[in-house]
Chains A and B, each alone.
Chain A
Amino acid sequence: MMNEKHVISMLVDNEPGVLSRVAGLFSGRGYNIESLCVAETIDPDVSRITLVTRADPPILEQIEKQLNKLINVNKLRDLSGPESVQREMAMICVQARANNRAEILRIVDIFRCKVVDVGIEHYIIEVTGDEGKLMALINLLKPMGIKKIARTGVIALKREPG
């Protein structure tokens, strides 16, 4: 069966050690993590962890059960489908010399992203979107020379109030 990508979102107690419980579970049981995002929610006692993993259905079932079993994990959901909004942000430092500066700006414009830093030989571009958009942008910028990149990993919310 296919190892499908899954976005798992969970509310956890905002206390030290919780992240290592989650990460340790993945490394100890040989599950994979593609990306992982953690930050406080509006309740300072609660953090949200969003992680992306690839697994076949039985392993995914185990991952979700094992995460739920952690005492500090409160509520867990799979936010992979179209009923959820998924976004990721990246900052891309691209080589920008006279010959391609204009081209880069045009791409930035088309993708509705922003140049957040300008140097004699580089731009840093900030982009937000789903994975498809990020990959499309990265592919277009590659020929110009991407010097470095930082990605946040996916965060997601269900399309519903509360």
Chain B
Amino acid sequence: MEHVAEGTLQAYLDGELAAEENAAVERHVAACVECAAELASLRGAAYVLATSLARADQPLASDDVAHAFQLVRAHAGGLPGSARRWLTGAAPSTRSALLRAALFLLGLAAVASAAIPGSPVRAWLAGAWQEAASLFSQATPGPRAGPARSVGDGAGVSVLPRDGRVRIVLRGPDARTRIHVRLVDGEAAAVRADGGAATARFTSGLGHLELEGGGPGAVRIEVPRAAVWASIEVDGRPYLLKDGADVRILAPLADSGGTEVVFRAGAE
């Protein structure tokens, strides 16, 4: 009686054989001690692989999937006209326009970098980003965020992250409203609305803060450096994501410098 080949035993274990061949393997293994031992040894190796891999895995939380989806959607939103002109080589007029384009493009880095690996544009982008990053890193600690408070003629609320995570959502802000974001020491995230924006309705809970409506004005957001994960979304679109030490800018910047970045609520 000829023994069953190793590959056939493996295919049997993996459910890859047609019914007829499957039955033939079963008949043979039932009658052959050697092939039965081979089968057991392959089964054991497969078990070692599956269980050791699972033990070493870093698990993925459902939040991580949602976060990844937001990033993919943001990256796949298509390059805006200004970025496209950039990639095709038209020279923007000023240094600050360059920087803004760079910041936005780097927000879309998955698309941009893959499109032009090793290109001088990509290298330049990396340099411009570093420059912007150094502006950021000079940031001085902001004022400590306290409990919910009212600030001057604006409205201010602060919340503590939940399990290190905080999500800040703006719904239906005036398109002209400018959103200022800075990272601060301390535990809490804070949002303050000034000018017409102060009429926005605030809702907050542990790890989450929402603003609805409001006229044209300024919204100032403080994100705690210590937050493991933080997001700022406007009408369902991610503008900024902090993931550990990474801070990703996902919408065009209206301005940056000093200790903050500024978005326009109605970004293109």
A and B found bound together: no
A residues near B, CB below 8 A? none
B residues near A, CB below 8 A? none
